[in-house]
Amino acid sequence: MAGLRLGPLLRYVDGSSATVWVETDRPGTVEVRGADGSGGTAGTFQIAGHHYALVHVTGLAPGTSTPYEVFLDDARVWPSAEEPYASLPPSVIPTPAPDARTRVAFGSCRWAAPPTGEPDPVGPDALDALARRIAADPDGARPDVLLLLGDQVYADETSDATRAWLAARRDLDDPPGAQVADYEEYTHLYYESWLDPQVRWLLSTVPTCMIFDDHDVIDDWNTSASWVEDMRATSWWRERVLSGLMSYWVYQHLGNLSPAEAGADPLYASVREAADGTDALRAFAAAAEADAAAVRWSYRRDFGRVRLLMVDSRAARVLEEGRRSMLDRAEADWLREQALEGRDSYDHLLIGTSLPWLLPHLVHDVEAWSSALCRGDKGARWARFGEKLRRAADLEHWAAFPESFGELAELIAEVGTGPGAPATVCVLSGDVHHAYVAEPSWPDGTGPDSRVVQLTCSPVHNSIPLSIRLGFRLGWGGGARLLGRVFARHGRLGRPPVGWRRTGGPWFGNQLMTLTADGRSAVLRLEHARADEAGARLTRVTETRLSR
């Protein structure tokens, strides 16, 4: 599409304003024009030869759905008159009405879908299916926000088409081979993923919030201090990780910010004011890679009476053995402050973390056991074994950071107890390529007044090997729980501060969960993507009332 390389993506939305992100094929002035006279303009900024704009749209009315167009230097670049876009409804900016119900859809782990008409080796894309539903009934129920909980792109598992593109650019016999190596190659991943026509239209008309997980950079990213040391010793890692952080800031993080937060961001000011913002962004990425506390990727969003705290559980880690923590001290303090501030102003607290807090019991115990081994509790030989196991089996969820696991349990109990406690506290996660609901219980009945649930949903569009299906089915069983206690005893681990049980699932398939909050009521729906003659569609698997 001439003038518009990627987007528009509708990102932040409140009752009177919104932000729209675009990538253009040349520098210029981007304008968003709403049908009701609302709108905004922004000049493009340049990163590594690419041009972007984040347009702040003002003048919107609460509780409305406003069609909009995008112009580059007064030439309309969206919507396109070409098919299939010409057959899709107008892109709109939906603003929430005061005290209206809030629908939050979420999931993670999306491989880019193959071009239209080609066979899809992993089945129908749940985002394609959601787009088709909304396009078929534009005035029907739709998510007020879509949360993408990690692995929006796969830098280490590229498609055949991307491998061919990489091979035309450089020798794939040189490291990192068929994985992406630099910023330009990251832009290609986003282009491949977000140019899917149905997904492109969906992202133009449903607001999104995003957070990274490991595959946005590389599998097992920040597993351990020794892992980081090994990666930094390679010839290609520094360019890879800096490019991953740079592209994440441009394509995902910037749109997570409110207009006020973006306006106060010194990096955003620097790249907008510079003729070329590459050096400023690269320096920022280098600082973030060197020191977890230097940058905060986590953020807060409020949707009426629903509060979302999106937590960085990848880059904020402290990895030194003996001090390991999922969140550095400043990040943990931020999470606590945001959860407790104005607690009576929300009815539902959503803690978004790409990695599940509550896992199958066997997996939890093995992860905690491996962390004790790696710490040296059983000696140097066991420590070496523990590190090999940790990397080979991806043992790096909250359970692998026992103190952080306990801190989160304590925070949830505090938030959910006493006058002003929310109706629900929901931990939203992905990563593990299946969906389930788990509920914690505190010892001696000392748990919070709020209903607490772990809601895990993945993948949106990815493979689900038989080993994963069998492993997680067995991992939730009673026999696996007993086996887990064997590992816990060997590691001399105490009981976790909470117990938990699975109350839904496991479910396997390309899928999305939607949480609908109406006052203090909350209903959870899980839907699978199915294929029929008309294309991908979502079918309901289960629906559960979490609170009344």
- 130/142 Cα distance (integer angstroms): 9
Q: Sign of the CA dihedral 316, 493, 490, 479?
A: negative
**Per-residue model confidence (pLDDT) at position 463:** 87
- Give per-residue burial for 286-301: e unless 16+ CB within 10 Å, then b: bebbeebeebebbbbb
Tokens linked to 282: 């690269």
Do residues 54 and 20 make contact, with C-beta atoms less than 8 angstroms apart? yes
**Per-residue model confidence (pLDDT) at position 525:** 98
Identify whether 377 is part of a domain. yes
**Per-residue model confidence (pLDDT) at position 447:** 85
Do residues 510 and 459 make contact, with C-beta atoms less than 8 angstroms apart? yes
**Per-residue model confidence (pLDDT) at position 120:** 87
For residue 429, give every residue at least 6 positions away whose Cβ sits within 8 Å of its Cβ, in sequence order, or none.
Answer: 108, 149, 352, 353, 354, 355, 356, 357, 454, 455, 456, 457, 458
DSSP string, 138-161: TTS---SEEEE-S-SS-SSS--HH
Q: What is the CATH number of the domain that holds 329?
A: 3.60.21.70
Range of the domain at 200: 99-547
Identify whether 277 is part of a domain. yes
Identify whether 288 is part of a domain. yes
- Number of domains within the chain: 1
**Per-residue model confidence (pLDDT) at position 475:** 81
Three-class secondary structure of residue 535 per DSSP: strand
Q: At what angle do helices 197-205 and 183-194 cross, to 10 degrees?
A: 90
**Burial of 402 per CB tally in 10 Å (0-12, 13-18, 19+):** buried
Spans of the chain, pLDDT less than 50: none
Identify whether 148 is part of a domain. yes
**Per-residue model confidence (pLDDT) at position 113:** 86
Q: How far is CA 188 from the centre of its chain?
A: 19
Instruction: Name which of 85, 83, 84 is nearest 69 in CA terms.
Output: 85
Do residues 252 and 210 make contact, with C-beta atoms less than 8 angstroms apart? yes
DSSP E strand boundaries for 35-155: 39-43, 45-47, 50-57, 65-72, 75-78, 92-94, 102-107, 145-148
Identify whether 61 is part of a domain. no
Name the amino acid, one letter, at 37.
G
**Per-residue model confidence (pLDDT) at position 42:** 98
For residue 38, give every residue at least 6 positions away whose Cβ sits within 8 Å of its Cβ, in sequence order, or none.
Answer: 57, 58, 59, 60, 66, 68, 93
**Per-residue model confidence (pLDDT) at position 397:** 97
Identify whether 270 is part of a domain. yes
Do residues 309 and 335 make contact, with C-beta atoms less than 8 angstroms apart? yes
Identify whether 263 is part of a domain. yes
**Burial of 331 per CB tally in 10 Å (0-12, 13-18, 19+):** buried
Identify whether 244 is part of a domain. yes
What DSSP state is assigned to residue 249?
I
- 542/292 Cα distance (integer angstroms): 39
